[in-house]
Amino acid sequence: MRGIAVRLQGLRKTFGETVAVAGVDLEIRDGEFFSMLGPSGSGKTTVLRLIAGFETPTEGGVELAGQDVTGLAPFERDVHTVFQDYALFPHMTVEQNVAYALKVRKVPKAERLVRARKALAEVRLDGYGGRRPAQLSGGQRQRVALARALVGRPRVLLLDEPLGALDLKLREQMQLELKALQREVGITFVFVTHDQEEALTMSDRIAVFHQGRLEQVGTPAEIYERPATAFVASFVGTSNLLQGQSARSILGTDGTHSVRPEKIRVLKESAVADEPGHATATGTVAEVVYLGDTTRFLVDLDAGGRLTALQQNLETSAEDVAAYRGARVRLTWHRRHTIQVPDAR
C-alpha cells in the first residue's frame, strides 16, 4: 500500500467574513497526480496555499508524510510550489535559475551544476542552460519553472494553474508532457485547475471543490460517470439533467438523472427505437452546431427539459446538419448510461 503524502483534517480558513475553506478532509497518496478542480472562488488555491504554508488554517491541520506541519514555515516543508507566472529571475541564466534553490541550501557548486543539468534534461531543455528567461518561449519558461521545482526533489509538488498562461495547443501538449514527467519522477503532484478537461486528462484522482467544500473525490471515470452531486454532474461535462415529470415519463422513475451527450443517438422521429434496454425521448431540435468532427444538438423534449446530444460526423456533412434545425427527432440511449444523480444536500 502506498503511503499518504498529504493529509488535511478539518481544514478551515476564513478571511474576515469570507469562508474560503469550509472544512476539508482529504488524503493524497504518494506518487499520485492529484487535481483540485472547481470554479473561481471555490477555495482550491487557498487549500494549496495552506499545504504550502503560505497561509495558516483558522481550524484544522496539515500533515505531510505523516508529520504535522501546520505550524511550520513554507521553507521547512518538503514541498515546492510552481506558480502560474513562473516567477523566474530575469537576470539569471536558465541554469542559474534552476540551481538557485540548491545554492540557498548550500549544496556545493559542482553538484549544483550536475543536478541542474539533470533537471533541465528531464524537462527536455538540454542545451538551453545559458539562455535568459526572456530568450525563451512561454512553454520553455514553463519547463524551466518545472526544472527548478524538481531539482530539489521535493516530496510534493504544488502547481497553481501552471498552464493557464499558455495558448490552447501548447497547453494540451504540456498537459501530456507534465503527466509523463510526473510518472517518470514519481513525485506527488497536486495540481489546481478550473478546467475540467485538463483535470480529466491528467489526473489519477480529482477533488471537486464548490463553495469551500469537497463535493467529490474520485478517479476521472468516477467523477464523469458517477457524479456524486448535481453540481459535479454540471461542472464536469454537460449536465443534461432529467428531473420531475421529464424523468418520470422518459425513464419511469423519480429523482434526478443525467445522460452524457456522447451516449445519446439522434434519430428521425419516425425511427423505430424500441431496442431492448434503451430509453427513448422525442423532441424538437432547438439548435444544431457543426463542429467538424462532431455535431452538437440541443433538443427540447416533449416531456419537458432539454438535452444536448453529441454525434460523430461519420456520414454527415455540414449541409446535412443545417437541415436538422427545427426538425422532429427521437433521442435514444442505453439505460446503463443513465446516471442517477443524488439529490442536492
Write out the residues near ligand ATP by the rule CB under 6 A: 15, 18, 20, 38, 40-46, 194
Quote the longest CA-to-CA distance of the chain.
Answer: 78
Contacts of 329 (CB under 8 A, 6+ apart): 266, 267, 268, 269, 282, 283, 284, 285, 297, 299
In this structure, which amino acid lies at residue 41? G
Q: How many helices (H) and strands (E) does the chain have?
A: 10, 18
**Cβ distance to ligand ATP smaller for residue 117 or 210:** 210
CB of 207 to ligand ATP, least distance (A): 12
CB of 212 to ligand ATP, least distance (A): 7
CB of 81 to ligand ATP, least distance (A): 13
CA-nearest of 101, 78, 77 to 89 is 101
**Cβ distance to ligand ATP smaller for residue 116 or 163:** 163
**Cβ distance to ligand ATP smaller for residue 154 or 212:** 212
Helix axes 138-150, 94-104, angle to 10 degrees: 20
Eight-class DSSP state of 323: T
**Cβ distance to ligand ATP smaller for residue 207 or 251:** 207
Q: Say how far apart CA 267 and CA 273 lie, in whole Å.
A: 8
CB of 23 to ligand ATP, least distance (A): 14
**Cβ distance to ligand ATP smaller for residue 41 or 342:** 41
Contacts of 96 (CB under 8 A, 6+ apart): 89
CB of 248 to ligand ATP, least distance (A): 37
CB of 211 to ligand ATP, least distance (A): 9
Q: Which residue is nearest to ligand ATP (CB)?
A: 45
**Cβ distance to ligand ATP smaller for residue 44 or 115:** 44
**Cβ distance to ligand ATP smaller for residue 82 or 321:** 82
CB of 44 to ligand ATP, least distance (A): 4
Helix locations, 70-219, DSSP H: 94-104, 109-122, 138-150, 168-185, 196-202
CB of 45 to ligand ATP, least distance (A): 3
CA 12 vs CA 26, 47, 64, 224, 276: distances in Å: 12, 9, 17, 27, 50
Burial of 111 (0-12, 13-18, 19+ CB in 10 A): exposed
**Cβ distance to ligand ATP smaller for residue 20 or 98:** 20
CB of 250 to ligand ATP, least distance (A): 35
- Dihedral over Cα of 63, 68, 71, 72: its sign: negative
Q: Say how far apart CA 208 and CA 226 lie, in whole Å.
A: 13
**Cβ distance to ligand ATP smaller for residue 26 or 301:** 26
| Torsion region of 269: left, alpha or beta (phi above 0 gives left; psi -120 to 50 gives alpha) | alpha
